[in-house]
A and B are shown apart, each in its own frame.
Chain A
Amino acid sequence: MKKFLVILILAVLGFHLFEAFSGLGLGVTRFEKGVKDYYLEKTVSELHVANTVTSIVVNFRGFDTLGEVTVLFLAVSAMGGILYKRRHQTGDRSVLFSSSSIVRSGSKLLFPAIILLGVYVFIHGHLSPGGGFQGGAIIATGFLLMLIAYENFSVSHNTLSYIESFAGIFFVGIGLLGFMNGGTFLQNFLPAGVLNNLFSGGVIGIIYVMVGFKVAAELTGLIYTILHEKD
């Protein structure tokens, strides 16, 4: 009975949603001079950042990104509090798979490559697809691989929280520097450089690297916290 009611409600909801979106058309230009065109123009002419998504994420809507890394920071802290046990047994970690030697040596081989890929992705965030979030997440997958393969592989919790805090402080600090240089929060105060060079985009590249460190530390910490949980 309840299921029918739910399906009925969902059908009505879906109909209205479909109504709202089906009239849009797919792949058509909807606005003559929309926000999009402004971003595409300014990212080449002022910011000198090749990847428009990066310039939006870090500069035009950089405040969102600051909020977002805070959300991740909060999520890690919240998980630490939620999974806290009074009698703290450390050392034993739940083992996902009892990994074979192939997995072990394979992970050992892949780990540096994955880290390198992650670092490459977030350093080139303003030139090619990718950036801080993607690179950080890739690095976290590398650590995840090691955590799964080796039961006694451990990451120092303090190191993670140092990296996280310093990256966060740098992010807000760069924002405040822009503010103190007579501009606004997160304003670009370094020379913009030449489009498509590694050193272009002023603070955007620096901020995205910081975001990369922060996201990598946070995601690794998140997985580490939940993996350490054992009944």
Chain B
Amino acid sequence: MIYLILIFFLLILMLSAAVYAVVQKDLLYAVIATGVISLVLTAVFYMLQAPDVALTEAAIGVALTTIIFLITIRNTKRHEDDYNKKDNLKSPLK
């Protein structure tokens, strides 16, 4: 019972993270949201009795993918468009 409700909660969290990742103009937050999707997927895989896949997703999806996205953003630019130039200066990545 509590297990099923937890899965529901996770799925809803995952979908909202996905929507957030798509609509967010700030690419840094979008990438973090993508990482959240992977993190939730890890939990869901574990609950669906796939520990091998959960381990892989945790190492590759959550850590490595997020990091290479971050490096790319660091080397290119942070915003989807050039409207918020001011914000760009405050970037913790710079």
Contact = CB atoms under 8 A, between A and B. Distances in A.
Partners in one complex: yes
Interface of A: 51, 53-54, 94, 96-97, 121, 129-131, 133-134, 137-138, 140-141, 144, 219, 222-223, 226-227, 229-231
B64 interface: yes
A94 B55 contact: no
A134 B52 contact: yes
Contacts of A222: 68
Contacts of B54: 129
A229 B51 CA distance: 35
A227 B55 contact: no
Given A223-B68, A226-B72, A229-B75, A130 B52 contact: yes
Contacts of A134: 52, 55-56, 59
Contacts of B52: 51, 53-54, 129-131, 134
A226 B69 CA distance: 10
Closest 4 CB pairs of A and B: A137-B59, A129-B51, A134-B55, A53-B52
Given A226-B68, A230-B75, A138 B51 contact: no
A141 B63 contact: yes
Contacts, number: 56
Nearest to B54: A129
Interface residues of B, number: 18
B71 A137 contact: no
Given A130-B52, A134-B55, A223 B75 contact: no
B64 A223 contact: yes
B93 interface: yes
Interface string B67-85: 1101110110000000000
Nearest to B50: A53
A94, A134, A138, most chain B CB atoms within 10 A: A134
Contact of A96 (B55, B60, B63, B93): B93
Nearest to A52: B52
A73 to B, nearest CB: 16
Contacts of A97: 92-93
B71 A130 contact: no
A129 B55 contact: yes
A230 B72 CA distance: 10
17 contacts: A94-B71, A96-B71, A129-B52, A129-B54, A129-B55, A133-B60, A134-B52, A137-B63, A141-B59, A141-B64, A144-B63, A219-B60, A226-B71, A226-B72, A227-B71, A229-B71, A230-B75
